[in-house]
Amino acid sequence: MALIQNKRARHDYAIEEKFEAGIVLQGWEVKSVRASRAQINLAHIYVRDGELFLCNAHMTPADQACTHVTLESNRTRKLLMHRREIMKLIGKTERAGYTLVPLDLHFTRGRVKVTVALARGMREYEKRADQSKKDWKREQERIMKKDAHGRHVLE
């Protein structure tokens, strides 16, 4: 179950593949994620020296966070993946138009994970076409709505 979602990424990008990556966090950051006090709407992932980094992910410190240490809420965080997966992603992002975006933050067996998507930026006309498909699907569902006994209800 995703605690923090990047809904903007699903609107702005066409998702090709999804991967799960670990993330290096400090203790107060894990508490922030657990309390849903993090934002990844403006976050992006970049490659440096064969490693993946999450940039611009904002994590608001909890009220009980340590006060004698300066807490950077927007610091760059390292993502943890197997070397083969990283090389595969690097090869695919070098193609024109492809990028890596974070889709969500969630817990897997007590550890914070990031769902990383290999995505292609959508143009305005693609976004409009996608929105019209969603609207038509919603309209079909409304038309074919069934009552509690399974009979079609006409409005």
Give me the residue spans of the domains in the chain: 2-121, 123-154
Q: DSSP character for 114?
A: E
Burial 69-87 (b: 16+ CB within 10 A, else e): eebeeeeebebebeeeebe
pLDDT in tens, 96-138: 788 899 999 999 998 999 999 998 887 777 778 888 888 888 8
d(CA 113, CA 88): 19
The DSSP result for 95-127, as a single string, is STTEEEEEEEEEEETTEEEEEEEEEEEPPHHHH
Tell me if the domain spanning 2-121 has CATH number 2.40.280.10: yes
Mean model confidence pLDDT for the chain: 84
pLDDT in tens, 65-96: 566 666 778 888 999 999 999 998 888 888 87
